Chain A
Amino acid sequence: MIRGRWGSIVMRVAAWVAIIVASAVAGAAVWTHVPQTSAAETYQAPRTAAGAPDLNGIWQALNTANYDVQAHAARPALALIPAAPRSGTPGLTRATHVELPAPAVRALGAVGGVPAGAGVVEGNEIPYQPWALAKKKENAEHWLERDPEIKCFMPGVPRATYMPYPFQILQSTNTILMAYEFAGATRTIHMNKVGDSPSPTWMGWSRGRWEGDTLVVDVTDFNEDTWFDRAGNFHSDALHVVERYSRVGPDHLMYEITIDDPKVFTRTWKMRMPLYRRLDADARIREYKCVEFVEQLMYGNLGVVDPATGTINK
């Protein structure tokens, strides 16, 4: 039995050891798991010279939301066709019915497959109005002709954030830029009073403010031409996005999105995902000037000559 002064010291040491071990475990949890709200509340973001939380850096999502923001199993391709009828066809009778890659994407093999994902939508339900759900399904069936990403159109918000390309936050005092690699799209986040957008836009009109250490961006004035993902999830020109960017660790942001569009959805809905800092040596936003990459697809058969083949278009 430990008693008296020495006993008290031993107890105190034991208590400190317990605290240190507990905090080390908590620290390890931050590093081995994506920090959740509790960690975000304890992490203190470093400050810029002007005293704001510092969000500068090159960030990227590491998930499959750009394929489908909802939970999805792996599948062989983005564009699928039904397999031949099973019954009565010699050699096919014992095969499980599956969908097969559409001819236009078949040559890509495993490169063109879709990895599974748990989804980023809160509750995994997108509350479409009935007509809109039908349109979403139709979009998915016509993905190859309709997805604006294929044509190198500006991806809109929030899709730009979770495409498989990095983006850079360039934080000045009254202005924060979000510079996306894909299609060279850039957003200007106005941190002070700014007039209204003169017209609908692809990337929205962004007004930012700080709520504690969180950057909250109110995005309006969208056109109806962007999608949320490659699964045909869409919105109208009544889209209103509220984004929240919070530093939850030295190399993580938590990105939370609230979507409101009364023309398409029955209620607001949310998405949430961590963003990771690109730590690669000389990490930079490079050019991805994809207009040049899609001209053949979009215009190759329209001119007198097809540049891909050198033949005269009939």
Chain B
Amino acid sequence: MPYRRLILAVLATAGAIALAACYGSASQRTPAPASGRTAWGDPDLQGVWRYEGAIPLERPAQLAGRATLTAQEVAARQQLEKEQEEKRLAGSEGAAVGRRSIAESPIRGNEYNSFWQDHGRPRQVSDRTSLIVDPPDGQLPFTADAKKAAQRSTARYGVGPFESYLDPDTGERCLTDGVTGMMWQGPNGGHNRIVQSPGFVTILHEEYRDRRVIPIAASASAAQHGNIRQWFGDSVGHWDGDTLVIDTTNFIDRTNYEWADIWTRASESLHLIERFKRIDSTTLEYTITVADPATFTGPWTAVIPITKLPDDTQIYEYACHEGNYAMPNLLRGGRTDAGKK
């Protein structure tokens, strides 16, 4: 995906700089009511949110069988995060995690990996070893076919072949990286703005300018799906006490496309249930249950703590397709390679 990151870097540099600047300034927004309710009485989830945790989706092999870390391990991780943050600020972060540092980069301006991974704020360490809480082993329950597809996707990543516009992954084509990871994935930002209006919750995901306008039904039984299949499916929400529950079906089948992460791909049998629970003023506990026999042997559930950013944080326009000069260059490169064979 490096070429994609490169264009996006150019497009969004100014935005990210402005965003970083925003972190330091005082809030100018009208404060939310103390009750944490919207003017029309719904629980208020509004603001710009991003996942700032250091917990991986799947449990690393060396922690197999362990759902939590010891206090000593947590302290060691906190120290590591602190060091990484210092390296990031010093511009030598890449070396610490096996990527090229700025100093080592053969091309000036090729430091984008470090740039995109820069959270601007330290990551939050937790004693949890995986975002996935079910299955208990913390692993994605891929079917045998999906496992092969995932391996193939990893092998192709940034390598190709790229013989037509169908070969790059959905993100490189400026389509989407999928709904499943939208709330917490996204090295290019991962920022989500939630806006509520009577009867609707809208989620704006900065990357690819993904947008979900979700109608809110009076109750779970009143929530009815429409009959139109879409990339982002058909979502219906309802409030379960103060928890927002979104049920999404009617996805289109795009399993034949390349996806950067197979577990985010859409198929007609995909069914998502998401729960948004505000557990304190700056933390949203986001729980997603993913069921899709086309990709998984059974449903899986992840619990993700998502952080509310300062009130004046903005998300910015993401003109990916409009500036996708990587695509023609990639295809010309593919033809040049083919001509050499």
Contacts and interface: CB of A to CB of B under 8 A. Distances in A.
A and B: partners? yes
Interface of A: 48-50, 56, 152-154, 168, 170-175, 177, 179, 184-186, 188, 192-195, 198-199, 201-203, 225, 282, 284-287, 289, 291-292, 295-296, 298-300, 302-307, 313
A174 B30 contact: yes
Contacts of B338: 304
Nearest to A307: B164
Given A49-B198, A179-B213, A289 B175 contact: yes
B165 A203 contact: no
Contact of B213 (A50, A154, A170, A292): A170
A198 B328 contact: no
Interface in B20-38: 21-22, 25, 28-30, 38
Given A287-B231, A303-B334, A153 B213 contact: no
B195 A170 contact: yes
B30 A173 contact: yes
B331 interface: yes
Contact of A306 (B162, B164, B314): B164
Contact of A198 (B17, B175, B215): B17
Given A56-B198, A172-B197, A307-B165, A202 B322 contact: yes
Interface in B300-339: 312, 314-317, 319, 321-322, 327-328, 331-332, 334-335, 338
Interface in B185-214: 193, 195-198, 200, 202, 204, 209-211, 213
B180 interface: no
A296 B22 CA distance: 40
B230 A286 contact: yes
Interface in B212-256: 213, 215, 226, 228, 230-232
B160 to A, nearest CB: 10
Given A48-B39, A49-B198, A303 B14 contact: no
Given A192-B29, A303-B331, A295 B204 contact: no
B7 to A, nearest CB: 14
B321 A192 contact: no
Contact of A299 (B14, B38, B328): B328
A124 to B, nearest CB: 31
Interface string B160-178: 0011111100000111100
B22 A153 contact: no
Nearest to B161: A304
Given A173-B38, A286-B230, A303-B165, A56 B317 contact: no
Contacts of A173: 30, 38-39
Given A48-B198, A286-B230, A172 B165 contact: no
A225 to B, nearest CB: 7
B14 A291 contact: no
Contacts of A285: 213
Contacts of A298: 165, 327
Contact of B196 (A172, A179, A284): A172
Interface residues of B, number: 58
A154 B167 CA distance: 24
A291 B174 contact: yes
A174 B195 CA distance: 10
A195 B19 CA distance: 10
A186 B192 CA distance: 13
A24 B173 CA distance: 57
Given A295-B173, A303-B331, A304-B335, A170 B197 contact: yes
A182 to B, nearest CB: 12
5 closest residue pairs by CB, A with B: A198-B18, A303-B164, A49-B39, A198-B14, A304-B163
A134 B173 CA distance: 36
Contacts of B331: 299, 302-304
A302 B165 CA distance: 8
B175 A291 contact: yes
Contacts of A203: 317
Contacts of A174: 29-30
19 contacts: A154-B317, A170-B197, A172-B196, A177-B195, A177-B197, A179-B213, A185-B209, A192-B29, A195-B25, A198-B15, A286-B230, A287-B230, A292-B173, A295-B173, A300-B165, A302-B327, A303-B165, A303-B331, A303-B334
Contact of A152 (B213, B321, B335): B321
A305 to B, nearest CB: 5
Contacts of B38: 49, 172-173
Nearest to B197: A170
A304 B165 contact: no
B209 A305 contact: no
B113 interface: no
A194 B312 CA distance: 7
Contact of A289 (B17, B231, B316): B231
